[in-house]
């Protein structure tokens, strides 16, 4: 079992290296047309595809993101480096969060930092977040190794011919529970942000109404 865990972690570490996040310096500093954006994303994120035929990003997706107020409009049909960074956030979020939830956490960022020439930018936000990637990958490998070992010790009394599948099933269940809990936590945090935003908006509106009443 010890050798199995080591081999599993070795293979996983190799896989993680192939899906390293896109560095900001790898993103062109010039405006890109939509075709160029989709090509860039497809090339840079090819390692994260499950199947070769999978599409990382399409024109329809970009148009839908813009229509749903997730992505700021391009400048004369050209997409900036900050557009690409925003699309990357959307790409990483879309497999676990709804469009509404993504909008709730992205809009405050794009409203404050997108196209900001005086202070912090979307590039600063992206760099700060992904600077945590190396350390988090180490923690992830350690946690997965522990779960893999535990899963391999289940179903000991079951028939030998069934154990390989059952060990895999145990591991999938453990990972799924982990994802389920984290997704629920993320959604709760987003709900809290939305409630705080609604409360702040309501207080601002009430304050304006009070001023109007007082001035009459």
pLDDT at 191: 96
Q: Does 200 or 187 have the greater pLDDT score?
A: 187
Residue 174 lies in a domain: no
Region of residue 113 (left: phi > 0; alpha: psi -120 to 50; beta: else): alpha
Residue 80 lies in a domain: yes
What is the arithmetic mean of pLDDT over 155-164? 94
Structurally, the chain folds into a number of domains equal to: 1
CA distances (Å), origin 15, targets 9, 79, 96, 150: 10, 31, 21, 22
pLDDT at 1: 56
d(Cα 204, Cα 209) in Å, to the nearest integer?
9
Residue 78 lies in a domain: yes
pLDDT in tens, 122-152: 999 999 998 888 788 888 888 988 999 999 9
Q: Which of 2-11, 24-33, 74-83, 206-215 has the lowest mean pLDDT?
A: 206-215
- Place 203 in a pLDDT band, splitting at 50, 70 and 90: low
Residue 138 lies in a domain: no
User: pTM of the predicted model, to two decimals?
Assistant: 0.84
pLDDT in tens, 18-40: 666 788 999 999 999 999 999 99
- Place 213 in a pLDDT band, splitting at 50, 70 and 90: low
- Residue 64's domain comprises 1-123
Residue 31 lies in a domain: yes
Tokens read off for 86 = 């925003």
Percent with pLDDT over 70 in the chain: 88
Residue 175 lies in a domain: no
C-beta of residue 83 within 8 angstroms of C-beta of residue 74: yes
Residue 162 lies in a domain: no
Residue 43 lies in a domain: yes
C-beta of residue 190 within 8 angstroms of C-beta of residue 101: yes
Q: Which of 11-25, 70-84, 190-204 has the lowest mean pLDDT?
A: 11-25
How buried is residue 174: exposed, middle or buried, by Cβ count under 10 Å (0-12/13-18/19+)? middle
């Amino acid at each position: 079992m010890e050798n199995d865990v080591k081999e599993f972690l070795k293979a996983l570490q190799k896989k993680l290296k192939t899906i390293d996040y896109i560095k900001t310096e790898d993103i062109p500093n010039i405006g890109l047309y939509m075709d160029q954006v989709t090509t860039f994303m497809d090339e840079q994120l090819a390692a994260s595809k499950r199947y070769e035929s999978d599409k990382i990003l399409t024109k329809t997706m970009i148009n839908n993101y813009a229509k749903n107020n997730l992505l700021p409009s391009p400048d004369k049909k050209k997409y900036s480096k900050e557009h690409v960074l925003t699309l990357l956030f959307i790409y990483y979020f879309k497999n676990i969060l709804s469009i509404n939830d993504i909008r709730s956490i992205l809009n405050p960022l794009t409203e404050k930092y997108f196209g900001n020439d005086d202070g912090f930018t979307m590039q600063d936000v992206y760099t700060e977040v992904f600077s945590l990637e190396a350390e988090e990958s180490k923690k992830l490998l350690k946690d997965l190794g522990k779960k893999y070992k535990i899963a391999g010790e289940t179903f000991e009394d079951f028939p030998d011919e069934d154990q390989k599948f059952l060990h895999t099933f145990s591991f999938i269940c453990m990972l799924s529970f982990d994802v389920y809990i984290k997704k629920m936590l993320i959604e709760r945090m987003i709900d809290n942000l939305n409630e705080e935003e609604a409360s702040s908006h309501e207080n601002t509106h009430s304050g304006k109404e009070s001023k109007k009443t007082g001035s009459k």
